[in-house]
Structure 1
Amino acid sequence: MTMMDLDNSWDVIIIGGGITGAGVFRKAVHMGLKTLLLEQQDFAWGTSSRSSKLIHGGLRYLKEGRIFLTRDAVRERERLLNDARGLVLPMGFLVPVYKDRGPGRWTLEAGLSIYDLIAKRRRHAYIDTDAFIKLAPHIDRKGLIGGFRFFDAQVDDARLVLRLIFEGMADGGTALNYTRVAAVGRDEGGRVNGVTLEDVHSHQTQTLSTTAVINATGCWAERLHPCPQKNRRLRPLRGSHLIFPSHVLPVNQAISTIHPTDGRAVFIVPWEGAVLAGTTDLDHGESLSFEPRITEEEVSYLLDGLHALFPALDVSARDCLATMAGVRPVLSEGACGPSEESRKHVMWVDRGLVTITGGKLTTFRKLALDALKAARPFLPIAVAVEDTSPVFRPFENQPALPAPVSGPTWETLFGRYGNAAATLARTASPSDLAVIPGTRNRWSELVHGAAREKIRHLPDLLLRRVRIGLVTQEGGRAHLERIRHLCEPVLDWDAARWKKEIRDYRDQWRFAHGLPGRHAASRGRVKSFFYRLGRRIHRHVA
């Protein structure tokens, strides 16, 4: 479906295809509303594909006294572990305890006990020094007196967004990427009565009618409606990560530690066959018209944290597979450091336009319910906003397939694709169900994404539908010819288009996911490309 094929009238229109917008979309469709979601870039293009990949309660929020934020997040974590089997996975965490730095044993014991109390099950244990070293043999042993093991959860954040959107579409909702909202229309009384859209490639425009619009655009939220509270504004905060091969950072479970410079929490997390190290937390001073990218200072900061934790490992920037930077939408409450700002979501309502921003990946369902409750007075039909039903379709056992897959493989495919997993597996050859070297994805997932998941450009496929661009050398450069061979039959791209897509993908990867300082000769061309793209997509709303 294209923008010009859309019906004229909608019960609710959602702007923003990140985790918040996707959550609102899924719940709105489930409530029986005629629902349209619009995203000016690709689905999950922003922060929702660039997080630390954790579904967690936010242990540090207990230290800051934000117990209700932790309570909500822990409860949502437990719900997602139950409802999103194969997608949201338990993740063991290790926290070392040192006699001369970081939080002490009894401080951590108290926090983890509250954590478990909220979850209604004990899942942490103190481990003595020898046992801890067996679990993390490369860790700094100087001053180590033991540590804790506890559990949170992990997710492929982009696939979480995509499953919400595609299940919502399967149940009757409509979602378009690369479609910009140029304006929100209002009647003479100031009430919302529609939106004006623009396809960012063809520049065609269309005006649709609705009485309820939900603005879930994250850091761009104030472009549609400034915060009405005096002296409060959105503060974009950048969080960056380094991604390493697992042989460079050989960890079997996540490790949480304290950075020696500023005492902030740093995570080392196994993910999709690689290992993430992050994150930073600082003001993002660059224009939102460009993709965020890590700075040389952030690279040094993260490497310093790794060297302090793993002094025996010779980890350097040369070992890095890719980098990843996302911008968090945080509503600033005053003059404080980035890490002191609240991650609680905020919302304001203006005669049919509901703006919601902030919050955590883990609590997207709660954000969706709050947004729909606020929008209910403006909906054309009476609906109940209930919070007991699962967000996702229930897990189904493997159906009869020409080439049956293993139980764990089926669980992973269903977690990522829901009911579409059966089509993916049924139409794939046995060789295409093999794992792509260095990743946890299968070749058949590329074909499925290209054919059925609304990609417009190669980065949509390689950075979000699958994660080959982040966990293999040079963004998967060695695999590009096979990817083209596999996907040519399902994409209507001629040879010139393929050449351009591959060139643009490599430029984008260098700009946003390479190390700063590398490929300096092409930087001007890359930045010029993104400047033109940004001018087209991120212009201020009229």
Structure 2
Amino acid sequence: MNRSEALQQLDATWDLIIIGGGATGLGTAVDAANRGYKTLLLEQADFCKGTSSKATKLVHGGVRYLEQGNIALVREASIERGLLYQNAPHLFKNLTFLIPNYSYYNNLLYTVGLKFYDILAGSLSLGKSKYVKTKTGLLQAKNVKTKDLKGFTQYHDGQFDDARLAINLAQTATNQGATLLNYMQVTQLLKKDNKISGLTATDILNGKEYKLQAKVVLNATGVWADEIIKMDVPKAVKTIQPSQGIHLVFNKEFYPNETALMIPKTTDGRVLFVIPWHDKVLVGTTDTKIESYEIEPLALENEIDFILLNCQHYLEIPPSRADVLSVFSGLRPLAASTNDKTKEISRSHKIMIAKSNLVTIIGGKWTTYRKMAEDVLDKTSKAGLLPAKKCKTQNLHIHGYKKEIDQNNPFYFYGSDLEKIKAIEQENVMNQEKIHPNYAFTSACVIFAVQNEMAFKVEDFLARRIRLLFLDAKAAVEAAPKVAQIMAQELNQDATWIANEVTAFALLAKKYELTL
């Protein structure tokens, strides 16, 4: 991906301009370009800056959706989970989950229920669910509370790295012929005869304004969808009801296992996951209805307390507030509902085509991103806005595809691009230097991100090209000066830019650190 080259292509008339560089927008860019539509994607910040980098890192059918009786969504998600495993094995892990049961009834309930979960996945199932005896389960779930423990239910689901998938989707879309730009903010929708004919966008990095022509504009901005809708119809009713979910990250000592833990009923009836992730432990999530929000939402104190309290209920040696390495908060773009219980609002996606022909897609989740893209393009073509072309992404390999992956390698998520990282490291000894003594990431990773992954800010690299901000906020702050110096050299920036970037990143990182 090359931003300078992308800017030179903006004079074209586009079949489709996608607003939003999260899971939905990027997935649609891949599908649209693969179908042969001339496609442009614009993201006001960095790719997957918002919700799409702050998920629970699971590609799953949705056990709680099964409990709610949403069979269609579970079936769809289970199929999509299997397709992602086939198309991006370098980003996907078949993860074993254990449900600790503290009654014999729950042993039966969850074991039988998850057999149905297996059936819905069909040939794309990741493994059979089964009952596991207490003694056997504890060998795989060390530090789980043993008092009154009656056994475990084991099942399989997928794990991935959301931000890395997003970057690889951006690269895939580019490989398919799409043009993508981050830091390009849409400021106005253009109309001709009351129909959308394009939009105006401003380049955040240089301040230049562009007027762009398009047959179709797709609003795939997640929780910001209403802002784009109101550019079209200023008095439009609200379509989004955001829900906030937070995660806490700890050292692996609190759950030193390769399996994940799923708590089906917490103190308020939610589902809680304890998941190994990049040699750390990720615990989440919450589900809190909110009215006001920003692109970097703060974790609420009651959400933090909720997770820590439930860790005390299920772990023999629970972590404390002082043990939190990072806390991150994401917003779910749920379709607006009169239901106050956000956990019961459907995660299914919704597609709307306005009188102006503005197309909007809301809702959904990472697992079904590919199907969401297929559905929105099919519906757009059926409405006569684009020529009908068949979706072919079911078997499309995602950039970085590599079948055999050593997931013990801390760089495994680069997939086939790992060879390029190694080549940069071999150029000189300095490129082999670590950016932080406690982590494997090298200067070569920074150089690669600038040259190939459209990283323009220290945050882009430390938060999303690698996940250090999410894994260890303090270490990320310590690495920031070195990262800024390397990026400045690649981007031809000066000492003032370095100082500003380090300061800005330190300010951002405070939102990921807990005060005692």
TM-score, length basis structure 1: 0.86
Is the contact made by 1:14 and 1:38 (CA closer than 8 Å) also made in structure 2? Answer: yes
Verify: 1:266 aligned to 2:265, yes or no: no
Change (3 A) 1:380 1:330: closer
1:32 deviation in Å? 1.4
CA distance in 2, matches of 1:205, 1:473: 35
Letter in 2 for 1:275: V
Match among 399, 406, 409 for residue 408 of structure 1: 406
1:410 deviation in Å? 11
Change (3 A) 1:442 1:362: farther
Verify: 1:164 aligned to 2:192, yes or no: no
Q: Which residue of 1 aligns with 2:215?
A: 211
Verify: 1:150 aligned to 2:155, yes or no: yes
Verify: 1:19 aligned to 2:17, yes or no: no
Q: What CA RMSD, in Å, does the superposition of the two structures yield over aligned residues?
A: 2.7
Name stretches of at least 5 consecutive residues in structure 2 with no aligned partner.
none
Is the contact made by 1:191 and 1:211 (CA closer than 8 Å) also made in structure 2? Answer: no
Q: Which residue of 2 aligns with 1:537?
A: none
Verify: 1:275 aligned to 2:281, yes or no: yes
CA distance in 2, matches of 1:303, 1:257: 13
Residue deviations 1:511-542 (CA, integer Å, cap 9, x gap) = x2122x56xxxxxxxxxxxxxxxxxxxxxxxx
Verify: 1:78 aligned to 2:77, yes or no: no
Secondary structure at 2:378's aligned position in 1? helix
**Which runs of at least 4 in structure 1 moved beyond 6 Å after TM superposition?**
409-412, 433-436
CA distance in 2, matches of 1:261, 1:507: 34
CA distance in 1, matches of 2:45, 2:63: 33
Is the contact made by 2:248 and 2:282 (CA closer than 8 Å) also made in structure 1? Answer: yes
Letter in 1 for 2:495: A
Secondary structure at 1:140's aligned position in 2? coil
Change (3 A) 1:478 1:429: farther
Residue deviations 1:31-51 (CA, integer Å, cap 9, x gap) = 111110000111010010001
Residues 355-504 of structure 1 correspond to what in structure 2 (within 5 A)?
A: 355-376=360-381, 377-379=383-385, 381-386=387-392, 388-390=394-396, 392=398, 395-396=401-402, 408=406, 415-416=413-414, 420-429=417-426, 438-439=438-439, 441=441, 443-472=443-472, 474-484=474-484, 486-504=486-504
Verify: 1:45 aligned to 2:49, yes or no: yes
Verify: 1:353 aligned to 2:348, yes or no: no
1:444 deviation in Å? 2.6
Alignment size in residue pairs: 502
Q: Which residue of 2 aligns with 1:256?
A: 262
CA distance in 2, matches of 1:133, 1:198: 56
Is the contact made by 1:322 and 1:475 (CA closer than 8 Å) also made in structure 2? Answer: no
Secondary structure at 1:408's aligned position in 2? coil
CA distance in 1, matches of 2:491, 2:276: 33
Letter in 1 for 2:248: L
Change (3 A) 1:135 1:391: same
Match among 109, 112, 120 for residue 110 of structure 1: 112
CA distance in 2, matches of 1:391, 1:191: 36
Name stretches of at least 5 consecutive residues in structure 1 with no aligned partner.
399-406, 519-542
Q: Which residue of 2 aligns with 1:343?
A: 347
Is the contact made by 2:97 and 2:157 (CA closer than 8 Å) also made in structure 1? Answer: yes
Letter in 1 for 2:256: P
Change (3 A) 1:69 1:138: same
Q: Which residue of 1 aligns with 2:13?
A: 9
Secondary structure at 1:326's aligned position in 2? strand
Change (3 A) 1:473 1:327: closer
Change (3 A) 1:303 1:397: closer
CA distance in 2, matches of 1:205, 1:485: 29
1:458 deviation in Å? 0.8
CA distance in 2, matches of 1:382, 1:410: 44
Secondary structure at 1:352's aligned position in 2? coil
Letter in 2 for 1:180: Q
Secondary structure at 1:478's aligned position in 2? helix
Residue deviations 1:334-383 (CA, integer Å, cap 9, x gap) = 23311111111111012432100110110000000011112224556553
1:112 deviation in Å? 0.8
1:73 deviation in Å? 0.6
Match among 319, 323, 332 for residue 323 of structure 2: 319
1:99 deviation in Å? 1.6
CA distance in 2, matches of 1:385, 1:267: 34
Is the contact made by 2:223 and 2:331 (CA closer than 8 Å) also made in structure 1? Answer: yes
TM-score, length basis structure 2: 0.90
Residue deviations 1:373-432 (CA, integer Å, cap 9, x gap) = 12224556553334543252584589xxxxxxxx627998675365x4443332223975
